[in-house]
Chains A and B, each alone.
Chain A
Amino acid sequence: MNPIKTLASTALATTLAAGLSTSAPAAAGDPVKIGVMLPFSGIYAQLGEAGRDGLRLALKQRVDQLHGAEIEFVELDTEAKPSRAPELASSLLNQHKADFVIGPVHSGVAMGMIKMLRGKDTIMIIPNAGSAAATGPLCSPNVFRTSFSSWQPSYPMGKVALDKGYKKVYAISWNYGMGRESLDAFAESFEAGGGEIVEKVLLPFPSTNFQSHVSDIADEQPDAVFTFFAGGGAIKFAKDYDAMGLRGKIPLLGSGFLTEGTLEAQGPAAEGIMTGLHYAEQLDIPENHEFREAFNTEYGHYPDIYAVQGYDAGQAIADTIDQLGGDISDKQAVISTMEKLTINSPRGAFTFSKAHNPIQNIYLREVKDGVNVVQTVAAQALEDPARGCRI
């Protein structure tokens, strides 16, 4: 952990806590401690910052609903390093005695945190990591997720492909949790409907040497390609696909992360890519418009999916505190209150499943003029099957 960052975040936390407390009556008991475990440096820093900004915005907006409870933030930088996750989570649990822990971005870090926090009194809210295990075999009463499971954005795309008449699909991703789970989820609905995966390629993460594979796709001529790539890999894949002359000839489908935060860098190469995701910036509902404007006013730029997920973690906390009248000392009450929440998310309202994963809409988006345009709701109120979870 970077000492300067600790210092800075403590300072920020104090300022924010002070800001919140001036606008609210004096708290009855101890402040509500929110431990934030997100990457503020390294390759996922941008995602971590967005989640943190969303979280803070929600708690700032809903200060009246906190019944005078003061909020205190403790922010730790995970640097997206799974090896340090148990240690950091343990410090939030034992040393800081956090009531809520928000984090992380990276699924590997999530596994390390869950190991520490499962079954404890501290409530863990995952604002990104989509690993199936978190709300599957490793699910726990005190672990909630405000993002998605890896299964959710990809499963509906199998049906989308069938509806469009694609019978033979070439599937390609990285050989890691998110990649394998995304391809499997797609195959599940696609093969059930009679589709055939003609080739399934799993590349070592984070290799971006795609040129030989797009050549292979050109040679194979499938009806469509389904893929999970994110970040730099997503940009590179779309560009290589386009440069090979495949765009417009063989439709490219994917989990929404293929075009999230990457559209600008992909440029025209992204045009026509169809993806499934639980959010779209253009989503035309009042909650989304209000959120986007409020976020822009606060931070000077428009929010992304990661900010939405962090915002909803904040909303979940504020709603819970509100419904409990500001007293969160009974952790069982906190959990059962949270389980029953309906979160008015910018993505559309959602509730938590038994495994504590959002039951949410998955939108089919298509890139047009550099924007993920919502085509239709690919799956209404989709619930993750939560295989292996026993709550």
Chain B
Amino acid sequence: MSTELFFVQLINGIQYGLLLFLIASGLTLVFGVMGILNLAHGSMYMVGAYLVWYFVAVTGSFTASALLSAAIALGLGILIERVLIQRLYNRNHLDQVLLTIGMIFVFNSLQSILWGNDPYGVAVPETLSGSVPFTDNSSYPVYRIFAALVCIGIAAALYFVVSKTRLGMLIRAGESNREMVEALGVNIKSLYTIVFAIGVMLAAVSGIIAAPMRSIVPGMGESVLITCFVVVVIGGMGSIKGAFVGALMVGIISTFAAVLMPTLSNMIIYIFMILVLLVKPQGLFAK
């Protein structure tokens, strides 16, 4: 592999990793703060992609559609938390898994009923189309650079909110001792609603950003969910920092594996996960 190609692939890997982080961050946030294992997280990614496709088809504007879809996802997150998730806080993980698996089926059926089973695509917005020359022979798509920057922006915002704001302080406190936070007069119920809704919105935003790069097809949520779990398990369940490092590792490894040993590329991330777990059974940044 030439040095040029190596760098192109490295950038591919980082860009993919950043997107993985964005998807996985919501999953790990919800688990870390609320102890809820949301298997329907991938469905929220699918919802984001389908919503943005639908609104772009209706309005023609990507920006407006993206904002609208994110807002709907936030509302959906609040609704799901209030109606369903709230009943599960004092139950075990098995109940949560059953409920959220059920949600996967519901969302898949809704997708099929509302939008059918055709594969769809979203055009890259005009201002972000085209590519910048990269090497003599290839150029890098502007949209992918933009997507990477958005992911970095959201990662930074997430870091800022969790470590520097009052909301973040409450989130961190709630993580370690829920009863104490409640005793101090904080409304932990609404705090949880907010956190869950943000988790849902992060998944949907990932779907929105990915929509112009990927094809929008039935079942797109499940495949992403599995990769997401690999990321979160490598990083340590519940750790945002772990999700960030894990996502970059998975992104880079799977990109290079795809070129160097294509037949094994799907397996390689699981092998990597096993190796990490052998050394650190709780994941790299587990608390």
Q: Which residues of A contact B220 (CB under 8 A)?
A: 232
Docked CA distance A183–B141 (Å): 28
Whether A216 and B259, one on each chain, are in contact in the complex, defined by CB atoms closer than 8 angstroms, is yes
For the complex, is A211 an interface residue (Cβ under 8 Å from B)?
yes
A229 to chain B, nearest CB (A): 10
For the complex, is B16 an interface residue (Cβ under 8 Å from A)?
yes
Contact A213 B259, CB 8 Å, known A46-B116, A208-B214, A265-B216: yes
Q: Which residues of A contact B16 (CB under 8 A)?
A: 209, 211
Q: Which residues of B contact A90 (CB under 8 A)?
A: none
Whether B144 and A243, one on each chain, are in contact in the complex, defined by CB atoms closer than 8 angstroms, is yes
Binary per-residue interface labels of chain B (250-287) against chain A in the complex, 1 for a CB within 8 Å, 0 otherwise: 00001110110011011100000000000000000000
Interface residues of B in 221-271 (CB under 8 A from A): 223, 254-256, 258-259, 262-263, 265-267
Give the residue name and chain of the B residue nearest to A249 (CB). B137
Whether A202 and B262, one on each chain, are in contact in the complex, defined by CB atoms closer than 8 angstroms, is yes
- A212 CB contact (under 8 Å) in B4, B12, B123, B213: B12
Whether B5 and A245, one on each chain, are in contact in the complex, defined by CB atoms closer than 8 angstroms, is no
Binary per-residue interface labels of chain B (196-216) against chain A in the complex, 1 for a CB within 8 Å, 0 otherwise: 000000000000000001111
Residue among A46, A203, A216 having the largest count of chain B Cβ atoms under 10 Å: A216
Contact A235 B119, CB 8 Å, known A215-B5, A243-B143, A244-B131: yes
For the complex, is B219 an interface residue (Cβ under 8 Å from A)?
yes
For the complex, is B187 an interface residue (Cβ under 8 Å from A)?
no
Binary per-residue interface labels of chain B (132-151) against chain A in the complex, 1 for a CB within 8 Å, 0 otherwise: 00010111110110000000
For the complex, is B76 an interface residue (Cβ under 8 Å from A)?
no
Q: Which residues of B contact A231 (CB under 8 A)?
A: 119, 215, 217
A265 to chain B, nearest CB (A): 3
For the complex, is B121 an interface residue (Cβ under 8 Å from A)?
yes
For the complex, is B31 an interface residue (Cβ under 8 Å from A)?
no
For the complex, is A165 an interface residue (Cβ under 8 Å from B)?
no
Q: Which residues of B contact A264 (CB under 8 A)?
A: 120-121
Q: Which residues of A contact B4 (CB under 8 A)?
A: 219
Whether B141 and A244, one on each chain, are in contact in the complex, defined by CB atoms closer than 8 angstroms, is yes
Docked CA distance A203–B9 (Å): 17
Interface residues contributed by chain B, number (CB under 8 Å): 46
For the complex, is A201 an interface residue (Cβ under 8 Å from B)?
yes
Docked CA distance A361–B116 (Å): 32
Contact A245 B139, CB 8 Å, known A203-B258, A235-B121: yes
- A265 CB contact (under 8 Å) in B112, B121, B218, B263: B121
Residue pairs across A and B with CB atoms within 8 Å: the count is 126
Whether B9 and A239, one on each chain, are in contact in the complex, defined by CB atoms closer than 8 angstroms, is no
B69 to chain A, nearest CB (A): 18
Whether B263 and A45, one on each chain, are in contact in the complex, defined by CB atoms closer than 8 angstroms, is no
Whether B137 and A236, one on each chain, are in contact in the complex, defined by CB atoms closer than 8 angstroms, is no
B15 to chain A, nearest CB (A): 8
Whether B8 and A175, one on each chain, are in contact in the complex, defined by CB atoms closer than 8 angstroms, is no
Whether A243 and B216, one on each chain, are in contact in the complex, defined by CB atoms closer than 8 angstroms, is no
Whether A215 and B266, one on each chain, are in contact in the complex, defined by CB atoms closer than 8 angstroms, is no
Interface residues on A, range: 35 or more
For the complex, is A177 an interface residue (Cβ under 8 Å from B)?
no
Whether B265 and A203, one on each chain, are in contact in the complex, defined by CB atoms closer than 8 angstroms, is yes
For the complex, is A261 an interface residue (Cβ under 8 Å from B)?
yes
Whether A209 and B141, one on each chain, are in contact in the complex, defined by CB atoms closer than 8 angstroms, is no
For the complex, is A104 an interface residue (Cβ under 8 Å from B)?
no
Docked CA distance A264–B124 (Å): 14
Interface residues of A in 167-215 (CB under 8 A from B): 175, 201-204, 206-209, 211-213, 215
Whether A208 and B259, one on each chain, are in contact in the complex, defined by CB atoms closer than 8 angstroms, is no
B209 to chain A, nearest CB (A): 14
Whether A221 and B137, one on each chain, are in contact in the complex, defined by CB atoms closer than 8 angstroms, is yes
Q: Which residues of B contact A233 (CB under 8 A)?
A: 215
Q: Which residues of A contact B216 (CB under 8 A)?
A: 232, 265
Whether A236 and B215, one on each chain, are in contact in the complex, defined by CB atoms closer than 8 angstroms, is yes
Whether A213 and B258, one on each chain, are in contact in the complex, defined by CB atoms closer than 8 angstroms, is yes
Whether B138 and A261, one on each chain, are in contact in the complex, defined by CB atoms closer than 8 angstroms, is no
- B12 CB contact (under 8 Å) in A43, A215, A266: A215
Docked CA distance A81–B15 (Å): 34
Binary per-residue interface labels of chain A (89-112) against chain B in the complex, 1 for a CB within 8 Å, 0 otherwise: 000000000000000000000000
Give the residue name and chain of the B residue nearest to A46 (CB). B117
Whether B265 and A207, one on each chain, are in contact in the complex, defined by CB atoms closer than 8 angstroms, is yes
Whether A262 and B266, one on each chain, are in contact in the complex, defined by CB atoms closer than 8 angstroms, is no
B198 to chain A, nearest CB (A): 28
Q: Which residues of A contact B123 (CB under 8 A)?
A: 267-268
Give the residue name and chain of the B residue nearest to A219 (CB). B5
- A209 CB contact (under 8 Å) in B116, B119, B258: B258
Whether B121 and A212, one on each chain, are in contact in the complex, defined by CB atoms closer than 8 angstroms, is no
Whether A209 and B255, one on each chain, are in contact in the complex, defined by CB atoms closer than 8 angstroms, is yes
Residue among A41, A175, A211, A267 having the largest count of chain B Cβ atoms under 10 Å: A211
Whether A43 and B219, one on each chain, are in contact in the complex, defined by CB atoms closer than 8 angstroms, is yes
For the complex, is A218 an interface residue (Cβ under 8 Å from B)?
yes
For the complex, is A42 an interface residue (Cβ under 8 Å from B)?
yes
Q: Which residues of B contact A213 (CB under 8 A)?
A: 258-259, 262
Docked CA distance A237–B131 (Å): 17
- B131 CB contact (under 8 Å) in A42, A46, A243: A243
Docked CA distance A45–B115 (Å): 12
Beyond known contacts A203-B265, A265-B215: 14 more, CB 8 A cutoff: A43-B219, A46-B117, A46-B118, A201-B262, A204-B263, A212-B255, A215-B12, A232-B217, A243-B124, A243-B213, A244-B141, A265-B119, A265-B121, A266-B121
Can you show 19 pairs from A to B with CB atoms below 8 A apart?
A42-B219, A45-B112, A203-B263, A203-B265, A204-B265, A204-B267, A211-B12, A215-B5, A215-B12, A215-B259, A216-B5, A216-B9, A219-B8, A221-B137, A231-B119, A231-B217, A232-B220, A244-B139, A268-B123
Residues of chain B having any CB pair with chain A under 8 Å: 2, 4-5, 8-9, 12-13, 15-16, 112, 116-121, 123-124, 131, 135, 137-141, 143-144, 213-220, 223, 254-256, 258-259, 262-263, 265-267
Residues of chain A having any CB pair with chain B under 8 Å: 41-46, 175, 201-204, 206-209, 211-213, 215-216, 218-219, 221, 231-236, 239-240, 243-246, 261-262, 264-268
